[in-house]
Structure 1
Amino acid sequence: MTTVRTLTRDPLLLRSRLDAWLTEKHPGARSRNVRLPASDAVPGETVLFDLAVPHPAGTARQRIRPCVLRLAGDPEGYPLFPAYDMAAQYRVIRTVAARTRVPVPELLWLETDPDPLGAPFFVRERVPGRVPPDTMPYTFGGNWLFDASAEDRARLERSTLRVLADLHTLPGEGTLRAHVDALRAHYAWVVDGTARSPLVERAFAWVEKHWPADPGASVLSLGDARIGNIAYDADFTPAAVLDWGTASAGPRELDLAWLLHQHRFFQDLTVTAGFPGMPDFLDPGRAAATYAELTGHTPRDLDFHLVYAALRHAVVMLRAGHRQVRFGQREMPADPDALIPHRDTLEAMTEGRHR
C-alpha cells in the first residue's frame, strides 16, 4: 500500500501559533486535542482540533466545537501539488452551500495571510459521520461499509451519485482541453529533475488519439469525487462532502469516472492480495444508468474518461512515490513506472486489453 507522510510542519509550533491566531478571532479561544488524521490524501495538510471558547459572563465552562484546519502544502515538504489556492477552495464550498443541495461542512474562517501559520488556511467544522477507510481500503473488509447489507450499500451508491447530480447543476468555467492541459503541466512539474514515466506519456498519447468528438458542456467538478471524500450518516446517505482542493470545471463524466476508478483501484488491490473485495459495488453500467435517471444526462465517452481518470491518478501516485523516496520510506526503483500502484490496469486500458 502507498502511504503518504502528511504534516511536515512542527505540530507544537503550529499549535502555539494557531492559539495566538484564535485568540485574535475570539478572546480566550484555544485549541484542544490537536492531532493529525491517520492518512491525508487530499491536497494540502490537515489538522484536527477542538475549538474551546469561553462561555459569556465569566463562567469557567467552555463551548467545544470540533474543527478541521486545512493548510496550504509546505513548499519545503515535497507537496503533492504545485499550488494551493485556499481562498478558491473556500469560495467553492461557500458557492456549493448557497446554490445546491450538496451537503458541505460549515465554514468558519478563511485566512489568506501566510504569517500566522506560515501559509494560507481555512477552518471549517468537523462533520460527524462515517468515512469509508482508505487505509486499509474498505474493500479489504473489517469496516462498516464492507459489512453493510446489499440494500445499505445500494443506498450509499445511489445517494452518492445524487450528490454528483446536484453538484453538476452548477455550470463550470473550463473545458476538457483545459483540464488535460493542466494535468500535463502537473506531470511536467512532478518529473522536473527526475525520471519521466513512459506509461504516463503513453497514456497522454492515448487520450489525444481517442479525444471525444463532443466533450459536452462544462459543470463544476468536485475533482476528488470518491466515497472516501464523503462522510456518511448512519442511514448510508452523505452527511458532507469534505475536501474540495481539486475542484475545477469540465464534463460531467470527469467526476463519474473518478468515482468509478477509485473503487476499481481499491478492488484491484484487494483481489491482487487474494481477497474477494466488493466486486458488485459501484458497477460502471449501473452507476451510469443511475446518473442518467437522476440527471436526464446519459454519460458518454465513459471508457475515455475512465482511462483519463486512471491517468490523473497515475500522476498523483507518481508524485506520492517520489515523496516516499524523499522521506526514506522506499528506494527509488530503476523503473519509474513501478511507483504507480495501478500500472498494470492503466497499461491494459491504453492497450485495449481487459483486466
Structure 2
Amino acid sequence: MSALKKYLGDVGEVREGHALDARALEAFLGRAVKGFAGPLGIRQFAGGQSNPTYLITTPDRAYVLRRKPFGQLLASAHQIDREFRVMQALGQAGFPVPETLAYCADEDVIGAPFYVMAHIEGRIFSDCTMPDLKCAERAAAFDSANETLARLHSFDLAALDLEDFGRPGNYFARQIARWSKQYDASRTDDVPEMEKLIAWLPGAIPPDEETRLIHGDYSFHNLLFHPREPRVVGVLDWELSTTGHPLGDLTYHAMEWYRPAGSDPRGTLDGADLAALGVPTLEAYVARYCERAGRAPIERLSFYQAYNLFRVAAIVQGIVARARAGTAASAEAGEQAPRVRAYAAAAL
C-alpha cells in the first residue's frame, strides 16, 4: 500500500490510455461553456478510481472534467449524467458543490460521455486524523463534515426535482442485491467472507424505512475543505448518489472510526487517542448528527457497520477487476485486492 499523504488531489501527466482529444474538447467547451477561451492544458488527477478526472487549465480559469472510463463497463456503473444532475440541483439550492458547467453525451468528442465543472481551491485530507491541524481546527473540521451531511439529508426531493432519482423504500435490500450482483460480475478470487455476508445481510436488515437524497460515498476523501479554514466548501464525487436511507450515508462516513487498520491509505481512528486529537467518539458524532437531523438514536448500529464494510469490499473488487482488465482509472488500482478480504472479515 502506498505511503500515507497529508492531502489528496495531486495532478500529473495524463496516463497511458487516458489521453483526450484536446482539439475536439476545446471546440466543445468553446460552444458549451460561457466565457471559455483557450488554449487549454490537460493534466490528470491521481485519484478518481472509477471515473477518470482531469484538470483543464486556460490562461484565465481552471476546470475539472470527469468522464466515463473507456472499455467494457458493468451495468449501472459510471453514470456520470446522474452526477451532473444531482450536483446541478444541489448547487442551485445553495449546497456546497462545484458549479456544473456542461455535460456531453456525445462519445465522438473525447471517446466517452463527460461533464465539466468549476475548479475549487481547497484541501482534501488524505489522513482522517488530519495531522497538520491543531486540535480545535480538527474538531471544527469534523463538525463541519457532520453539519454538511445532516444538511444534505434535510433536502426535500420534490423541491430539488429529484423525486425520480432513485426508487423509494427497501433501500438496504436493493443495495445488498446490487453489490452482491456486481461483486459476482467482477469476481477475480474466492473470498469466503464475502459469501457469508451475501447470505447473512438480507435477513438482518432493520425494519425502519426512510428515503432521502444520499451521497453514497461521503467520506473525507470526497470533502473539499477551505484552503485555510476548517470548513467544507465542496462535496465531490457524486457517482453513487441516489435516494435511500440516510443512515447508510452516515454509517459509511462513520467508517473513519471502525475501518480495519491497514486496509486503507486514509488510515483509521480505531485505536487513536480521540480526546488528544479533538475528535469526538463515534457515539458522540452519531448523536450530534441525529440531533441536527431531528431523529431518534440509532439502534442496531452493528448492522450498518457490516453493510458498509461489505459494500466497500464489493466496490474495491470492481476496481481490482478493472485493473486486471486494464481499464482502471488509478495507477494504484492493482494494489487493492487484499482490501476486499480485510473489509469482509471485519464485517463478520
* Both structures adopt the same fold (TM-score exceeding 0.5): yes
Q: Secondary structure at the match of 2:259?
A: helix
Deviation string for 1:245-302 (max 9, x for gaps)? 110122111111111215543754589x9x9985524632121111012111133432
1:282/1:261 Cα in 2 relative to 1: closer, same or farther (>3 Å)? Answer: farther
1:121 aligns with 2:114: yes
Please say which structure displays the higher CA radius of gyration. Answer: 1
Q: Is the contact between residue 219 and residue 249 of structure 1 (CA under 8 Å) also seen in structure 2? A: yes
Tell me which residue corresponds to 1:296. 294
Tell me which residue corresponds to 1:55. none
Tell me which residue corresponds to 2:105. 112
Residues 212-223 of structure 1 aligned to structure 2 (within 5 Å) = 212-214=206-208, 216-223=209-216
1:94 aligns with 2:88: yes
What's the CA shift for 1:229?
A: 0.2
1:184/1:2 Cα in 2 relative to 1: closer, same or farther (>3 Å)? Answer: farther
1:270/1:173 Cα in 2 relative to 1: closer, same or farther (>3 Å)? Answer: closer
Tell me which residue corresponds to 1:156. 141
Tell me which residue corresponds to 1:179. 175
**Which stretch shows the higher mean deviation, 25-34 or 240-249?**
25-34
Aligned residues: 318
Tell me which residue corresponds to 1:202. 196
What's the CA shift for 1:109?
A: 0.7
Q: Is the contact between residue 65 and residue 114 of structure 2 (CA under 8 Å) also seen in structure 1? A: yes
For 1:31 and 1:282, the matched residues in 2 are separated by 48
What's the CA shift for 1:189?
A: 2.0
Tell me which residue corresponds to 1:61. none
1:125/1:73 Cα in 2 relative to 1: closer, same or farther (>3 Å)? Answer: same
Q: Secondary structure at the match of 1:288?
A: helix
Q: Secondary structure at the match of 2:40?
A: strand
For 1:110 and 1:33, the matched residues in 2 are separated by 19
1:321 aligns with 2:311: no
What's the CA shift for 1:118?
A: 1.0
1:39/1:92 Cα in 2 relative to 1: closer, same or farther (>3 Å)? Answer: same
Q: Is the contact between residue 67 and residue 125 of structure 1 (CA under 8 Å) also seen in structure 2? A: yes
What's the CA shift for 1:160?
A: 0.5
For 2:131 and 2:260, the matched residues in 1 are separated by 12
For 1:80 and 1:228, the matched residues in 2 are separated by 24
Residues 264-279 of structure 1 aligned to structure 2 (within 5 Å) = 264-265=258-259, 268-269=262-263, 278-279=272-273
For 1:113 and 1:287, the matched residues in 2 are separated by 44
For 2:283 and 2:69, the matched residues in 1 are separated by 37
Query: Gapped runs of 5+ residues in structure 1?
Result: 53-63, 140-144, 351-355
1:267/1:151 Cα in 2 relative to 1: closer, same or farther (>3 Å)? Answer: farther
The correspondence for 2:221, drawn from 217, 228, 237, is 228
Aligned-residue CA RMSD (Å)? 3.5
For 1:213 and 1:286, the matched residues in 2 are separated by 24
What's the CA shift for 1:320?
A: 2.2
1:31/1:201 Cα in 2 relative to 1: closer, same or farther (>3 Å)? Answer: farther
Tell me which residue corresponds to 1:346. 344
**Which stretch shows the higher mean deviation, 247-256 or 168-177?**
168-177
Tell me which residue corresponds to 1:57. none
1:211 aligns with 2:219: no
1:128/1:115 Cα in 2 relative to 1: closer, same or farther (>3 Å)? Answer: same
For 1:283 and 1:31, the matched residues in 2 are separated by 50
Q: Identity over the aligned pairs, expressed in percent?
A: 24
What's the CA shift for 1:180?
A: 2.1
Q: Secondary structure at the match of 2:224?
A: strand
Q: Is the contact between residue 231 and residue 239 of structure 1 (CA under 8 Å) also seen in structure 2? A: yes
Tell me which residue corresponds to 1:21. 28
Q: Is the contact between residue 309 and residue 346 of structure 2 (CA under 8 Å) also seen in structure 1? A: no
Tell me which residue corresponds to 1:37. 45
TM-score (structure 1 length as normaliser): 0.78
What's the CA shift for 1:154?
A: 1.1
Tell me which residue corresponds to 2:160. none
What's the CA shift for 1:345?
A: 5.1
Q: Is the contact between residue 146 and residue 278 of structure 1 (CA under 8 Å) also seen in structure 2? A: no
